[in-house]
Structure 1
Amino acid sequence: MSSEHWSTTPFTLQTIPEKPEGVPQDFYGCAVAMALIHNLFTRGLNSIYKHAPIVAERGSEQDKSDFINFALAWYEALHAHHTGEEKWYFPEIEQAAGNPGLMQANIDQHEVFRAPLDAFNDYFLSINEDPAALNSAHVLSLVDAFATPLFEHLKDEIPTLLEFGKKFPDVPIKQIDEDHAKKMLDTVSKLYFLPFFVSNFDREVDGGRWTSFMPGPPGWVLTATKYVFSFPYRGAWRFSACTFDMKLKPTMVQI
């Protein structure tokens, strides 16, 4: 189902890698989790790209307001992901490997799409109080401006991480990953980040094969997200690819 789902285009989901020979299990697990996270960002952006013309043309003011908040949540989640990498994940990997500058190529890739990505966020912030101003052609042009370098970066990160596992097998990558995730979560808007993350994560992808690598948040976090954190922007999550049970929605929003 996942390969044919409406949230898999126009931007292609990443194929979850098989474990290469010589890569420690912890590095492989982190690479799988990263690919799964990248795919929830991809599903979210695909939803924005597909829903924008529909909402702009036929949506009510409330539909447009909800869509704007969904787009802002997508940016918040992706921005937090990349900021967390730059502030904690990459530096800690470099320090553990004893190799300053090891992750510089990844940071350089961030710089390529940073400005057009920020322009996307700025646009939605600018119309947040005037939803009727939503212009779908402009939204698509903003996405097109950063999509190619963004997806090149997301694609490159996975083999890069696996290769580092071969070269620096003693780096405690699992602990580094967990530590940076906790620090990153302290910086985000829980009302945007958590509902977006949970409702665009397909737990059943590839028949649930990857659940052991990334089972999703603890049960209490899921419950709090579904009934508390999601409530202020509850209409926005209509545009998510999944339910709060992390199962794919069969159809797009009907307007």
Structure 2
Amino acid sequence: MALVHNCIIRALNSIYLQAPHIQPSDHKSFIAYCLAAHDGLQAHHDGEEEFFFPKIEHITGRKGLMDGNVQQHEAFHSGFHAWGQWLQDARSGKTEFDGEKCVALMDAFVAPLSTHLADEIPTLLALSQFGASLDLKSLSKAEGDKVMGGLSKTAQLPIFFVNHDETFEGGIHSFPPIPPPVKWVLRQCGRWNADWWKFGSVGFDGFPRELRFRGE
């Protein structure tokens, strides 16, 4: 879960920092990158609310146990949805992309989102009180497989690859937790829209890189 959250944070940071400096020639690609981040986060939270949290409550017999997490989702949903709708309008040509507008819309939800992403980890760690009866590792993998499997391999999933630092904590984490040959294939699929992923904080080799569009 922390690895997913790290990817989301890196992706949103890369958007926030670069948006004011994107030139019109790159607007189309940048909007697609932003929408990939939006859709990835939306899919992650849908997966939690529709599968992960209900499974935890069912196994523990504690209905409402995860309500605090759902409430935190709701705290940033309005601003997050407004940002996503604006991006959709920019992609369709209903409105023009503006970097400062993008940042202003993000300002409406990044604070409560950051609180949620930080709080959720200790909330999950506290579930250790239920011992072996609650196999969080298996549940988390099942939710991750469901979410990742539902994302477009060329238009959405690569947002996680270009924002997961393979060198993090000495490179001990494999993310997504899939066999290397499958990961290699997915990375190749991501190159299909290479112009979108140049805004990522990590290259397809898994190594962090300087953001290309930071201005002077």
Q: 1:195 & 1:102 partners in 2: Cα distance? A: 33
Residue of structure 2 equivalent to 1:239: 199
- Tell me if 1:54 matches 2:14: no
1:218 paired residue among 169, 172, 179: 179
Residue of structure 1 equivalent to 2:70: 107
Q: 1:229 & 1:238 partners in 2: Cα distance? A: 11
What is the TM-score normalised by the length of structure 1?
Answer: 0.78
SS class of match (1:190): coil
Equivalent residues in 2 for 1:1-255, closer than 5 Å: 34-55=1-22, 59-61=23-25, 63-130=26-93, 133-208=96-171, 210-211=172-173, 214=175, 216-231=177-192, 233-253=193-213
What is the TM-score normalised by the length of structure 2?
Answer: 0.91
Deviations 1:43-68 (A, max 9, x none): 1111101111100xxx142x111110
Q: 1:80 & 1:70 partners in 2: Cα distance? A: 15
Q: 1:113 & 1:73 partners in 2: Cα distance? A: 18
Amino acid at match of 1:47: S
Q: 1:189 & 1:116 partners in 2: Cα distance? A: 24
* CA deviation after TM superposition for structure 1 residue 168, in Å: 4.5
SS class of match (2:154): helix
Number of paired residues? 215
Q: 1:229 & 1:252 partners in 2: Cα distance? A: 19
Q: 2:88 & 2:103 partners in 1: Cα distance? A: 16
Q: 1:78 & 1:60 partners in 2: Cα distance? A: 26
Amino acid at match of 2:169: D
Amino acid at match of 1:54: H
* CA deviation after TM superposition for structure 1 residue 172, in Å: 1.5
Deviations 1:67-112 (A, max 9, x none): 1011000001111110000011001111111111110110111111
Contact 1:199 1:237 (C-alpha < 8 Å) held by counterparts:
yes
Unaligned runs of 5+ in 1: 1-33
Contact 1:68 1:131 (C-alpha < 8 Å) held by counterparts:
no
Amino acid at match of 2:197: W
What is the root-mean-square deviation in Å for CA atoms of aligned residues? Answer: 2.1
Unaligned runs of 5+ in 2: none
Q: Which runs of 4+ in 1 moved over 3 A?
A: 129-132, 214-217
Q: 1:197 & 1:74 partners in 2: Cα distance? A: 8
Deviations 1:14-63 (A, max 9, x none): xxxxxxxxxxxxxxxxxxxx1121111111111101111100xxx142x1
